Structure 1
């Protein structure tokens, strides 16, 4: 395994670094990175920024906003915590969180913190979340990245992140703060820097890591990717298209799903799929496949099933998406 030191706290640069390593195919073995950011909110690939964030609070706190290439939910990060990245050669294109979670769980145990998995993508201590993860694939490679809360500003986190009422009801939570904890409670004498170094040392020792640095040419290309793919407001916020209808459900084991659509003469004239689910699905192509089709249950199911047979959504079936679209509550809110 390779470790790659990251000194930048610019989230656009650091996400661009991930993307560059995924697409430049510079290494044929796993790469591990640990990094941090200035105060930032990270949107999941499929989320609506205007629904997820209190943008007035974001502005008041001077936070950076970025959109990940991975699915999942919105998180808050700052210099009190850190992010980890594991890039692995992989030909399966399956979403599997086990390898990345095991790596970090073992590192936490090595520094004296007993963390366990609580769901497909979270680590918890005493039942409270300390880490969330997400993944995305590029041809031949899988990226697993996530956050570790050590001494992050929980008050700012709570003020800028919204909890969707549908998800709130389904998961019986009242706030972001209610279900998270800083790891400093486990290591009160440690600074964030000591914590980060402890994790790096634990991963390096357990995996016989060697350290690699990038060239000036690598860094120049990473800066271009940051500007093109991560810092562009159009990428981060998208457009605020108006739809006639909004359908939203929390699918247990899959996540929050929202489908906005408009009809014209009984056919779909506009449609958008969003949520905090995990997938490698191109939602623009998903929408394009539905546009112009009659708003008929069987027709919708056929088209959606065809798309998901190629690129699935983790934990969500074509039938469940159809149930959301046609507002069938019985089989979705289980």
Structure 2
């Protein structure tokens, strides 16, 4: 095994027949900080006769001094991650899949879903419809409302939403502490790579923004050895759908009391869906060794019993929340006006 430093990364090489060097894997310093001091003892120079390609042999002249033991070198190869892509999977089905993989699988996963099949409101596990939704309009338009198993805020998703999810073991990214902010910061580094040269990307509080306009919302769940971080990206959206959402009481400071339409932006103004997905896969591939997976319908639902906590809210639940909005039309009208409006919605 040869340890070779190049472009701020460590390339793991093996010398094969005929002096051909074979790429074994990459050591990523940001993932394995315990080896940073040992990097200082690695001095190297090289000449490449042809472009290196991962997994293929190429002739090379080199002189390398290294101090890492072979056993340590094996431990720093990029961790494995399964990657699955979908087109138009329903958001509820996607959440059921994610929770199953999070709770029952021991693998790392990246799930990309290009659009969901129908407009749906998705709330965090502790979200309250009476505080977050214009329930009268939601009931009137018969928009489904899903309560997901992770935290985070409320979003309207539709065929113009792109979803990206990471499910990781603690050991796969040992430099990331099992708390929301470190995981969020880690994800921000990935998307800095994705949007480099495209737009003024930032991680602002818990959101992904271009400038000061949000285009990506995040939610997480964290267990003792594992975590999930998923994002809904607003590649496109229907302005009318924003009317289903109230301005939350706890809004980020940078929102500055702006309406939903003033606060968010379209990703499609900056890049195509295919370009975004390709760049995301490439960025993730610099940190993990990716294995493309195909999940059939039977595998998505699983063969063993599993109680999903993500679910659709019933009409009765939404009506009860609507009845509790005593201030919907102001203090003076009180509950009686809400009850009148509820009867109007039910009659429709």
Q: TM-score, length-normalised on structure 2?
A: 0.58
Q: Deviation of residue 44 (structure 1)?
A: 1.3
Which residue of structure 2 aligns with residue 69 of structure 1?
149
User: Aligned equivalents of 1:236 and 1:11: distance in 2?
Assistant: 22
SS of residue in 1 equivalent to 2:230 = strand
2:145–2:312 CA contact under 8 A, matched in 1: no
More strand by share: 2
Q: Distance in 2 between matches of 1:223 and 1:181?
A: 41
Change (3 A) 1:41 1:195: farther
- Structure 2: how far apart are the matches of 1:168 and 1:50? 20
**Which residue of 2 is the match for residue 51 of structure 1?**
131
1:213 is displaced (CA, Å) by: 2.7
- The aligned runs of 1:69-148 (5 Å cut-off) are 69-90=149-170, 93-95=178-180, 96=182, 97-109=184-196, 112-119=198-205, 121-148=206-233
Q: Are the counterparts in 2 of residues 67 and 235 from structure 1 also a CA contact under 8 Å?
A: no
Alpha-carbon distance in 2 for matches of 1:7, 1:89: 26
SS in 2 for 1:20: helix
Is 1:25 the counterpart of 2:110? The answer is no
- Describe the superposition over 1:227-283 as per-residue Cα deviations: whole angstroms up to 9, x where unpaired: x53235369958959xxxxxxxxxxxxxxxxxxxxxxxxxxxxxxxxxxxxxxxxxx
Matches within 5 A, 1:255-274: none
Unmatched 5+ stretches in structure 2: 1-80, 172-176, 322-348
Q: For the pair shown, which has the larger CA radius of gyration, 1 or 2?
A: 2
Q: State the alpha-carbon separation in 2 of the partners of residues 98 and 173 from structure 1.
A: 25
Superposed counterparts of 1:207-286, under 5 Å: 207=287, 208-214=289-295, 217-221=298-302, 228-233=308-313, 237=317
Provide, for residues 192-233 of structure 1, a one-character-per-residue CA deviation record: whole Å limited to 9, x for no partner: 4x355334443354344221233565323389758x532353
SS at match of 2:216: strand
* TM-score of the two chains, using structure 1 as the length reference: 0.60
C-alpha deviation, 1:64, in angstroms: 2.5
Deviations 1:18-49 (A, max 9, x none): 1011111241xx31111132211111111101
> 1:34, 1:88 → 2: CA distance?
15
